[in-house]
Amino acid sequence: MKKNNKGFTLVEVIAVIAILSILSGITISAVTKLTTNSKKKTYKNFEDNLKKASNNYLIRHNELAEEENLKLDAQTLIDEGFLENLTDPTNKKESCNEDSYVIISGKRENATDYNITYSYDVCLKCPNYSSSKCPVTPPSEEIKPSCPVINVNITYDHPSLTNQNVVAKLNTPNEKIKIKNNGGSDSYTFKENGGFKFKYIDEENNCEGSITATVNWIDKIIPTAIIEYSHNEKTSEPVIAILTKETEPITIINNDGKNNYIFQENGTFEFIYQDQAGNIGKTLAKVDWIEKTSVEKPEPTPDPSPDSNVDPNNPPKSDKDLNEEESNPNHPFDSENNSNNTDKKDPNHSTEKDSIIKEDKNDSKEEKKKKKVNFALLFEIIVIIILVLIFFLIKKKIKKQNNYID
């Protein structure tokens, strides 16, 4: 049989390559268009967000209602929580926060009048994008040279490790230095670690500058620790709970500063501690596996002293009284004394009586139980007899019916 060694011709290969090139070009073009449209849509959303944030800012700050052509920087809106960071979609490492702003045009008659419609001119400036409303030179603002080094500095209300918010204040040598951003305020509150750049204008020297406040000592994380026990199984010995494996250096503020607590019996104990920033942490120790053995107390022994059997109502008689009783044979209480003497001579008399009474009670209980058992047996016998009679009567009736049918 002859083998077929025929392969693709040059024309066929060129045709396949051409088709693949066309398909690749179409695909790349479509993907590029989609990516570009997506970026444009993101920039458009940034502009809309700037406009909404400016409107909310103006509602919050009624005192600015009388100003004309109010300029709001994007960074100011971000710092006060009206806007999120504007990350450049083309390069995620860049942002559009620094040079973007909104110019609010219009004027209300008073601060409480919300009927007048304001116009918002949004200038979104990103490294790879600039909106159409961004002029080369912003309105009513000239490009000013950088100021020489002047005596401005930043102070902090909490300059060391803390769990509180930190307020950074820009200190200027004179009143002619105005803050461009941050709503004109010379103070910025850090709720977490980070940085903020103050931008200012020196009207005296007709220049502008900036200085950055940086905070990295805010610690609001609550410390934690765990409990380890000297015994983890059932025991009759005391159990020691030890506070250990702290997430950071801590100071125990209860339990006399000790990191261990001894449980003499089952219960709970809460360790309270704080870190260097002042954050308070708590860890609960709980023990429920201590088994205390009960100790039997010995029965008290009777007092062998002769005065222990003396009846307080009948104190012992003196020798004089005894002599008088012996000299008087017809003493009215002789019979009583004799009976008492006989009782005293027989100390087991009362115990015998008690035992007899208990036996009689037990006998009566047994008789009652026997009567109940006999009654139950009799009742069962009567029920059985009645059932047997009913059975025979039914059987007889069925037999009669069968005979009648036949």
- Do 170 and 253 fall within a single domain? no
Which residue has 């307080």 as its token pair? 312
In a domain? residue 279: yes
How does pLDDT run across 177-211, given as a tens digit for each residue? 888 788 788 889 999 998 888 888 877 777 778 88
Query: How many domains, the chain?
Result: 3
Q: Is-contact 179 200, C-beta < 8 A? A: yes
- Do 126 and 184 fall within a single domain? no
| Kind plus residue range of the DSSP H or E element containing 270 | strand 267-275
Q: Which of 227, 269, 268, 278 is nearest to 248 (CA)?
A: 278
- Do 98 and 35 fall within a single domain? yes
In a domain? residue 101: yes
- Do 159 and 249 fall within a single domain? no
* More confident of the two residues 322 and 366: 366
Q: Which of 189, 193, 199 is nearest to 81 (CA)?
A: 189
- Do 70 and 95 fall within a single domain? yes
d(CA 287, CA 263): 7
How does pLDDT run across 296-310, given as a tens digit for each residue? 555 555 555 544 454
Instruction: Give the C-alpha distances (Å, rounded to integers) separating 313 from 198, 310, 321, 337, 366.
Output: 102, 9, 17, 15, 42
- Do 203 and 276 fall within a single domain? no
d(CA 57, CA 85): 16
Task: Give residue 20's identity as a one-letter amino acid code.
Answer: L
Q: Which of 224, 223, 214, 218 is nearest to 163 (CA)?
A: 218
Paired tokens of 401: 């019916």
3 state SS of 165: coil
How does pLDDT run across 361-391, given as a tens digit for each residue? 666 777 777 777 788 888 888 988 988 888 8
In a domain? residue 308: no
Q: Tell me which of 287, 304, 324 is where a domain ends.
A: 287
pTM of the predicted structure, to 2 decimals: 0.40
Domain with 96, as residue range(s), is 23-130
Q: Tell me which of 235, 265, 287 is where a domain ends.
A: 287
Show the beta-strand stretches assigned E in 101-230: 101-105, 119-123, 125-126, 129-130, 153-156, 166-171, 177-179, 187-190, 194-202, 207-215, 226-229
- Do 184 and 120 fall within a single domain? no
d(CA 276, CA 163): 9
pLDDT at site 240: 95
How does pLDDT run across 81-125, given as a tens digit for each residue? 888 888 888 777 788 877 888 887 765 555 455 555 677 888 888
In a domain? residue 30: yes
In a domain? residue 8: no
In a domain? residue 370: no
- Do 237 and 158 fall within a single domain? no
- Do 57 and 125 fall within a single domain? yes
In a domain? residue 200: yes
* More confident of the two residues 367 and 163: 163
In a domain? residue 243: yes
Q: What are the start-end ranges of the H helices in 286-348?
A: 319-327, 334-345
- Do 211 and 233 fall within a single domain? no
Paired tokens of 298: 């010995």
Instruction: Give the C-alpha distances (Å, rounded to integers) separating 9 from 16, 21, 38, 277, 349.
Output: 11, 19, 44, 79, 137
Paired tokens of 368: 């009652």
Q: Tell me which of 287, 304, 336 is where a domain ends.
A: 287
- Do 233 and 200 fall within a single domain? no
How does pLDDT run across 22-43, given as a tens digit for each residue? 888 888 877 877 777 788 888 8
